[in-house]
A and B are shown apart, each in its own frame.
Chain A
Amino acid sequence: MPKVSSKLAAAVKCSEEFNADACMHCGTCTAVCPMGYEILPRKLFRYVQVGLEDKVKENISSIYSCLLCGMCSENCPAEVNIPENIRFLRKYINENEFNLS
């Protein structure tokens, strides 16, 4: 069973960049994403929100294949800055998973 990690949750919380709280899970972003990954970006953000670090790590390839094209944020009715959130996640993974800093 996926465990909630306070570390990721706390990192997300303290950051100015990551903000998916306004997301209402309408799915528009997933529908318009040219990469067509099921996880991008809505489900991924839910994993981040609830602090499921393992799940996030399982999807590292999707996170890095995002084009940062902004189709999603352009169409998001809740004005979530999705590419910005992806950047934040890449930084978090770089630091915590690949030990790059």
Chain B
Amino acid sequence: MAQKRRIGVYVCYCGGNISDYVNVEEVAEAVRNDPNVIVSKTHMFTCSDAAQQEIIDEIQAEKLDGLVIASCSPKLHMFTFRGMSKRADLNQYQYVHVNLREQCSWVHTNDKTGATKKGISMVRAGIAKCVLTVPLNAIRIETKPRVLVVGAGVSGMRAAISLADMGLAVFLIEREAEVGGWALQTGKMGPEAQEGTDVVAKLLARINQHENIMLHTQAEVIGKSGNIGDFNVSVRLPGDESLSLNVGAIVVTTGFEPYTPEPDEFGWNAPGVIPLKDFRQMLAETDGSLVYNGKPVRDVAFIYCVGSRQSKSESCTEPNTYCSRYCCMATTYTATLLHDLEKKTGQPVNQYHLYRDVRTYGALEPLYEKARTGGAIFLRWDPSDPPKVSTEAGQLTVKAKDHLLDGEELEIGADLVVLATGMRPRENATLNDVLKIPESKDGFYNEIHLKLRPVETMIDGVFIAGTAQGPKTLAESVASALAAVAKTGGLLMKGYVDLEPLIAKVDPDKCIWCGECLKACPYGAIEKINVGEKEIAFVIESMCKGAGPCVPVCPHDAIEIEGFRDDQIVAMIDASIKELEEK
């Protein structure tokens, strides 16, 4: 071993979470005599402010140059202790985290002696790794103050306006000739009673006035290169023209596709069976009583959850298992629109709402109440016995069992059967090919964490918002668009972004450019370069995630991940089996 190090080891009780099963005092004691360890202590809660301050004082007083914290998962507190190291003027990459809780105490609750022994091994390995750490600096990248927003539905338009208000230049790209997305076809929308077309027109007026927004319709993204803070995007414009954009971030708001029922699903394709969208448009277009195919509409049956909350069966091999969230609200709101029409025309319309559960959550609940007290009848159906729609002698009929009448089957003659169809992910082959945003099991774009990081994707600098991420109401779409704006602003307004230096590093002497690493890298972070006569692999720092599939495939051991170098791993293994060898 070369030069001696001055390492501080801190073992955490986690208020019993660790110490109930691992004897933390014994662990601290076992490593105290290690030649590289200066301090070895325990704390009840290492993450507490008091404990952190004590550690900072010790780092400075003892001139520590390395730190091993043996506590919970680094997912929980790695950034806490990196911050602490920074405050103590210790390079944050010379702190090593040992996960004594999730990887030891919690999984060995039945064997305290064994857990303690394993704990000692783990901490020894941590020290061995720490001995070989070198100070590292974050990779700083300048960000461009420009944003690309893909998809000009309500989500994309709203995001564009707020981004532009922050002073960022915004390129808003829409594939269709018209902006607005589905809101153009939904008629009057609940719960605010706004015409979808008005919402879009108002947003468009603001966009047209904004000098920071460039809107392109009939345009499509066809290529992307670069990385967070500095992407180059090519866009196809109408008439074979194209456009190159240099942006710091990309916000994807490409929306959803309404579910199309199967041919025999709830009478789909029979005359008089229509989706909610068409019924809303009928309401928007009528100025008197409702008429369908020349016949006045007196009885309407609404069927909820069509194409949502499905389970796998023979007739449904790829079920949409999720709830589409908007349809209960949109359908109960539609009931109130019908009540208003009845009052206006004096012509009663009987409404039968065949639902599974009414999910008018939060502040939307009054819509359900309004629909009911206005005279709409709600009948609950069970997925094991869904309503049956048929046409008998020209009469559209719905048969359903009523729970409230002990499962008695009712026969409802209807002039219209309206299906509250759910939301599906949009087909977007070209865009998916270019952006490669991971998809969830439901097929929508996947966020990193539903609650903690809801608009970020695995691709740094690419954000998702609105119904492209999953079913949402209009208000929820806008809220998520604004969340993406906040995240994008946070990234670009600072002018730079710091990336982890724990990435791949090529040894130019060992590398002979066989190209194996290039094939293994899922992020396209490897390039071939010439150094003098020699061809070698080169790692594009801003694209490398330090994931490491390149390391084991290299036949010449020429590529390593900083922070997880071969010498460190070997030292960790040696240290962790020290006790075994002594026996």
Please indicate whether A and B come from the same complex rather than being unrelated chains.
yes
User: Per-residue 0/1 for A1-42: is the Cβ within 8 Å of any B Cβ (1 yes, 0 no)?
Assistant: 111101001101110000101100100000000000000000
Q: How far is the CB of A79 from chain B (nearest CB, A)?
A: 12
A1 adjacent to B409 (CB under 8 Å): yes
Known contacts A1-B411, A2-B408, A52-B410; A10 and B402 CB within 8 A of each other: no
**In the bound complex, what is the Cα–Cα distance between A52 and B350 (angstroms)?**
13
Known contacts A1-B399, A50-B379; A6 and B299 CB within 8 A of each other: yes
Q: For residue B301, which residue of chain A has the nearest CB?
A: A4
A4 adjacent to B412 (CB under 8 Å): yes
A50 adjacent to B399 (CB under 8 Å): no
Q: How far is the CB of B175 from chain A (nearest CB, A)?
A: 45
Residues of A within 8 A of B408 (CB): 2
**In the bound complex, what is the Cα–Cα distance between A45 and B350 (angstroms)?**
16
A6 adjacent to B405 (CB under 8 Å): no
A1 adjacent to B405 (CB under 8 Å): no
Known contacts A13-B375, A43-B405; A6 and B410 CB within 8 A of each other: no
Main secondary structure of the interface of B (DSSP, over half): strand
**In the bound complex, what is the Cα–Cα distance between A22 and B373 (angstroms)?**
6
Q: For residue B371, which residue of chain A has the nearest CB?
A: A21
User: Per-residue 0/1 for A41-82: is the Cβ within 8 Å of any B Cβ (1 yes, 0 no)?
Assistant: 001001101111000000000000000000000000000000
Task: Count A-B pairs with CB separation below 8 Å.
Answer: 54
Within 8 A of A (CB), among B8-65: none
Q: For residue A4, which residue of chain B has the nearest CB?
A: B412
Within 8 A of A (CB), among B373-387: 373-375, 377, 379
B402 adjacent to A50 (CB under 8 Å): yes
Within 8 A of A (CB), among B195-250: none
Residues of B within 8 A of A10 (CB): 298, 348, 350
A6 adjacent to B350 (CB under 8 Å): yes
**In the bound complex, what is the Cα–Cα distance between A1 and B402 (angstroms)?**
12
B377 adjacent to A49 (CB under 8 Å): yes
Within 8 A of A (CB), among B347-403: 348, 350, 352, 372-375, 377, 379, 399, 402
Q: How far is the CB of B502 from chain A (nearest CB, A)?
A: 59
Q: How far is the CB of B244 from chain A (nearest CB, A)?
A: 61
In the complex, whether B413 has a CB less than 8 A from a CB of chain A is yes
A4 adjacent to B405 (CB under 8 Å): no
A6 adjacent to B411 (CB under 8 Å): no
A47 adjacent to B350 (CB under 8 Å): no
**In the bound complex, what is the Cα–Cα distance between A52 and B408 (angstroms)?**
11
In the complex, whether B404 has a CB less than 8 A from a CB of chain A is yes
Q: How far is the CB of B380 from chain A (nearest CB, A)?
A: 11
Residues of A within 8 A of B298 (CB): 6, 10
User: Per-residue 0/1 for B266-301: is the Cβ within 8 Å of any A Cβ (1 yes, 0 no)?
Assistant: 000000000000000000000000000000001100
Known contacts A4-B411, A6-B350, A10-B350; A46 and B375 CB within 8 A of each other: no
B405 adjacent to A47 (CB under 8 Å): yes
Known contacts A14-B348, A47-B405; A4 and B375 CB within 8 A of each other: no
Which one of A14, A22, A46 contacts B404 once the chains associate, using CB atoms below 8 Å? Answer: A46
Residues of A within 8 A of B352 (CB): 4, 50
Residues of B within 8 A of A13 (CB): 348, 350, 375
Residues of A within 8 A of B410 (CB): 1-4, 50, 52
Known contacts A10-B348, A46-B404; A3 and B411 CB within 8 A of each other: yes
Q: How far is the CB of B407 from chain A (nearest CB, A)?
A: 12
Q: How far is the CB of A27 from chain B (nearest CB, A)?
A: 11
Residues of A within 8 A of B374 (CB): 21
**In the bound complex, what is the Cα–Cα distance between A9 and B348 (angstroms)?**
9
Q: How far is the CB of A43 from chain B (nearest CB, A)?
A: 7
B377 adjacent to A3 (CB under 8 Å): no
Residues of A within 8 A of B413 (CB): 3-4, 6
Q: How far is the CB of B186 from chain A (nearest CB, A)?
A: 27
Q: For residue B342, which residue of chain A has the nearest CB?
A: A13
**In the bound complex, what is the Cα–Cα distance between A65 and B375 (angstroms)?**
27
Residues of A within 8 A of B379 (CB): 50
**In the bound complex, what is the Cα–Cα distance between A47 and B379 (angstroms)?**
12
**In the bound complex, what is the Cα–Cα distance between A40 and B374 (angstroms)?**
23
Known contacts A3-B413, A4-B412, A21-B375; A46 and B405 CB within 8 A of each other: yes
User: Apart from A4-B352, A10-B298, A14-B348, what 20 extra A-B contacts exist at CB < 8 Å?
Assistant: A1-B409, A1-B410, A1-B411, A2-B408, A2-B409, A2-B410, A3-B411, A3-B413, A10-B348, A10-B350, A12-B375, A13-B350, A21-B373, A22-B372, A25-B404, A50-B352, A50-B377, A50-B402, A50-B405, A52-B410
- On A, residues with C-beta under 8 Å from B are 1-4, 6, 9-10, 12-14, 19, 21-22, 25, 43, 46-47, 49-52
In the A-B complex, the 10 residue pairs with the closest CB atoms: A21-B373, A4-B412, A10-B348, A13-B375, A9-B350, A3-B411, A1-B411, A46-B404, A21-B372, A13-B348
* 18 A-B pairs (CB sep. < 8 Å): A1-B399, A1-B410, A2-B410, A2-B411, A3-B413, A4-B352, A6-B299, A9-B377, A10-B350, A14-B348, A22-B373, A25-B404, A43-B404, A43-B405, A46-B404, A46-B405, A50-B379, A51-B350
